[in-house]
Amino acid sequence: MRTQGRCWKKRVSKQEGFRKVENTKKKLQIGNVVLDNPLILAPMAGVTDLPFRLLCREQGAGLVCMEMISAKAIYFGNKNTEELMNIHPAEGPVSLQLFGSDPDIVSEMAKRIEERPFALLDINMGCPVPKVVNNGEGSALMKNPALAAEIISKTVKAIRKPVTVKLRKGFNDNMVNAVEMAKIAEACGAAAVTVHGRTREQYYSGKADWEIIARVKEAVTIPVIGNGDVTDGASAKALQEATGCDGVMVGRAARGNPWIFREILAYLETGVGLPGPDAEEIRQTILCHAQRLLEVKGEYTAVREMRKHVAWYTAGYPNSAALRRRVNEMESFEELLQAVADIFRE
């Protein structure tokens, strides 16, 4: 992995207020890992790769989570999975998330990769995607507490690093069992749990149920990370106050907006959020993001993956629909650079 370009050097936020909140005293300890602050970038397939995680760390995220990784894919030596597990020294602490339904494979693969430079190992029991659920993995494990317990217990015993578990409210409205699952996770040795306040059947629709997060917090003594409907500093603070959660996980609201972490940090520290990035900072961030992708994944993949990122970065811009059409036709890195130049010239 080539990481010699200037974009790999630590980038400093243009916001003067960011330095003040970057060292906030509100730390979060998970096992033996101490985070600088309680803000966590959620694991998102196709989004939280190395270049994006690094951007979010630079903007203040206390922990960044990798894209979920199949334990079976590690077992079979899948090349693409190996690339997913790349970690840059500047992005730590990092949480590596495994998914699977075979307790032996999950625990053995956790042990196989333990020497890699991640700080925490998370077990995915919340992914709602059909191809994952239909294999009995992800949120399907919410329906099988005994199997979930075996996976957690064997993984905790297999490695020295802290093991965490990501859950949902339940599988559906007739099976709301996040409290039961969190108790199981704690009993099996998990160092923390994350609770997304939606059921599997909801996917990402409707409103997140923060009450279930509060109930989990009351039921266990390990740290509880709240997830769902955090879009800015005010909503992050509201989630903390409504649930008593120890950490706040930010997911979809971070797409095209790594600055959300510095804004939330400022709000939690001062009660006032920072202004959003100006056009020049957005432009520079897009270019740096693209350059990092180019060096990690090569031109073909980088250009195609930047299509969605540019659309997220420029959401709400004048003529955004026309911009998206143009960006979706990009084939080369030069075309990408020209499109970005034109976007911010208009």
Burial of 2 (0-12, 13-18, 19+ CB in 10 A): exposed
Angle at alpha carbon of residue 40, lines to 17 and 182, rounded to 5° = 145
Euclidean distance between CA atoms 147 and 56, whole angstroms: 34
Euclidean distance between CA atoms 203 and 127, whole angstroms: 9
**Cα-trace Rg, the chain:** 20
Whether 127 is a known active-site residue: answer yes
The beta strands (E) that lie in 45-162 are given as 63-65, 69-70, 94-99, 120-124
Collapsed DSSP state (helix, strand, coil) of residue 176:
coil
Q: Among the options 7, 127, 245, 288, which is catalytic?
A: 127
3-state helix, strand, coil in the chain (%, to 5): 50, 15, 35
Euclidean distance between CA atoms 59 and 22, whole angstroms: 8
Which stretch of DSSP H or E encloses residue 167?
A: strand 163-170
User: Catalytic positions, please?
Assistant: 127
